[in-house]
Amino acid sequence: MTVKIGVLALQGAVSEHIKALKDSGAETIAVKDASQLEELDGLVLPGGESTTMRRLMDKYGLFDAIKIFAKKKAIFGTCAGLILMAKEIEGRKGPHLGLLDIDVKRNAFGSQVDSFESDLKIDHVAESFDGVFIRAPYIKKVGPGVEILSTYNQHIVACRQGRFLACAFHPELTGDTHFHEYFVKITKENK
Ligand code: GLN
């Protein structure tokens, strides 16, 4: 079975996600318009700046469309994408999409450590994965239906809740496709 997975193309490392999804056996397109969602089985929300991405989603009519899409389809959020999916964001009144039962803190590793790399163990994905963190959030708390997949210094940095997958780092920047392969598998199971 093949699945078609879009990458939200408002901001961020879109072409890197597209390449990783192709290498993981999925068909893929860059999504700029809500009508494109109709043909998709899954969607990637890339990194970037969550408040800017939200503004652009509203501007292009994608916010409501993605909320409807999420009722049945698989979604994978990386970094800012994870923030967009969270039910609670520290210091912000109300969520964006509010799909994942998690509390997140933005820019959580401090402005001193803007970006860093760390070797991560990720359940179902890899014993050793190069985690690239760029002004990354972390997950402070998860609800009962959320599976924790990876931690870094006791902070939760990857999780799954049913057809929703999220991580605080940038798997598309490493050339290692294991994380994307896991999302393709989730998307197939959900189809
Ligand atoms: N700091 C960004 C935010 O709060 C996320 C950074 C990223 O996606 N690399 O939205």
The third-level CATH classification (topology) of the domain covering 4-190 is: Rossmann fold (3.40.50)
For the chain, give the percent of residues with pLDDT over 70: 98
* 80 Cβ closer than 6 Å to some ligand 1 atom: yes
How does pLDDT run across 1-43, given as a tens digit for each residue? 999 999 999 999 999 999 999 999 999 999 999 999 999 999 9
CA distance 69 to 85: 13
Out of 96, 170, 180, 181, the active site residue is 170
Q: How far is the CA of 79 from the centre of ligand 1 (A)?
A: 6
**pTM here?**
0.97
Q: Quick check: 86 pLDDT over 80?
A: yes
Q: Which pLDDT score, from 0 to 100, does residue 48 have?
A: 95
Active site residue 167: no
Quick one: which atom of ligand 1 is closest to the CA of 81?
A: 8
Residue 131 marked in a binding site: no
The single-letter DSSP state of residue 45 is: E
Q: Which pLDDT score, from 0 to 100, does residue 110 have?
A: 80
Whether 4 contacts 27, CB under 8 Å: yes
Q: Quick check: 173 pLDDT over 70?
A: yes
Q: Quick check: 112 pLDDT over 90?
A: no
What is the residue extent of each domain of the chain? Answer: 4-190
Q: Which pLDDT score, from 0 to 100, does residue 38 have?
A: 97
Chain-wide mean pLDDT for the chain? 97
> Over the range 98-130, which residues count as b (16 or more CB within 10 Å of their CB) and which as e?
ebbbbbbbbebbeeeeeeeeeebebebbbeebb
Q: What is the mean pLDDT of residues 38-55?
A: 97
Q: Which pLDDT score, from 0 to 100, does residue 114 have?
A: 81
Q: Quick check: 111 pLDDT over 80?
A: no
Q: How far is the CA of 175 from the centre of ligand 1 (A)?
A: 20
* Cα 172 to Cα 45, 78, 130, 131, 169, distances in angstroms: 12, 9, 11, 10, 9
Q: Quick check: 113 pLDDT over 80?
A: no
Ligand 1 pocket mutation pick from 17, 50, 56, 109 by most atoms within 8 angstroms of CB? 50
Q: What is the mean pLDDT of residues 46-66?
A: 97
Q: What is the mean pLDDT of residues 45-54?
A: 97
